[in-house]
C-alpha cells in the first residue's frame, strides 16, 4: 500500500511544481558583514543577503499553495483569509525554520517544515509552511537577482 501511495503522492506535486530558490542559512558560519557591536547584518550584503549567515542557494522544484481559513459569522458574511504560503516538494532538502524561499517576485520566510512519511516511515515529501518576508524584502530580491545573474542564471 505504501508503495502505491508514495508514487501517487508525487503526481500532484509534479503537476503543479515549478523551480523556486531555497536560501538556506548556515547557523554555524557568521557573515563578515555582521556588526560586532550591534550583531546586525548589513541588509545590502550580497554574500548573505542580509541574513548575517553564510548561505547556500538551492534550486528546487516545488508546488505552492496558499493556506486559507474560511470565516462566517453575523455581520461578517462569508470569506476566506489567506494565512500564508505553503510549499510542497519531494526533493530532498535541509531547509529549516528561518530560511527563505524565493518564488518569482515573492519572498517567504520558513516558519515550519514537516517531513511527511508513508507507512514505511520513509520521508515521501516535505510540507514547508511560510510567512511573507517583510524585512528589506525588495533589497533582498534585488541582491538575489544580481547574484543569480552573475552566476549565469537569467530569469
Instruction: Evaluate whether residue 64 is within a structural domain.
Output: yes
Instruction: Evaluate whether residue 155 is within a structural domain.
Output: no
The better pLDDT of the pair 69, 16 is held by 16
**What is the count of structural domains for the chain?**
1
Q: pLDDT of 1-56, one tens digit each?
A: 556 666 777 788 888 899 999 999 999 999 999 999 999 999 999 999 999 999 99
Identify the CA nearest to 41 among candidates 58, 54, 56. Answer: 54
Distance from C-alpha of 44 to C-alpha of 155, rounded to nearest angstrom: 21
pLDDT above 90: residue 86: yes
Q: Positive or negative, the Cα torsion across 111, 52, 60, 152?
A: positive
Instruction: Evaluate whether residue 82 is within a structural domain.
Output: yes
| Whole-number pLDDT of residue 135 | 84
Q: Which domain does 35 fall in, by range?
A: 2-150
Instruction: Evaluate whether residue 123 is within a structural domain.
Output: yes
Amino acid at each position: 500500500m505504501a508503495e502505491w501511495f508514495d508514487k501517487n503522492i508525487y503526481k500532484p506535486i509534479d503537476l503543479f511544481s515549478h523551480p523556486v530558490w531555497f536560501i538556506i542559512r548556515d547557523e554555524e558560519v557568521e557573515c563578515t558583514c555582521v556588526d560586532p557591536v550591534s550583531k546586525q547584518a548589513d541588509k545590502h550584503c550580497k554574500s548573505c543577503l542580509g541574513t548575517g549567515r553564510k548561505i547556500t542557494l538551492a534550486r528546487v522544484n516545488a508546488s505552492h499553495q496558499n493556506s486559507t481559513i474560511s470565516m462566517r459569522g453575523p455581520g461578517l458574511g462569508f470569506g476566506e483569509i489567506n494565512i500564508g504560503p505553503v510549499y510542497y516538494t519531494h526533493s530532498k532538502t535541509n531547509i529549516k525554520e528561518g530560511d527563505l524561499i524565493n518564488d518569482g517576485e515573492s519572498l517567504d520566510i520558513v516558519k515550519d517544515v514537516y517531513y511527511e512519511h508513508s507507512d514505511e516511515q520513509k520521508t515521501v515529501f516535505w510540507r514547508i509552511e511560510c510567512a511573507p518576508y517583510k524585512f528589506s524584502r525588495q533589497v533582498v530580491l534585488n541582491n538575489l537577482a544580481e547574484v543569480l545573474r552573475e552566476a549565469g542564471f537569467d530569469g
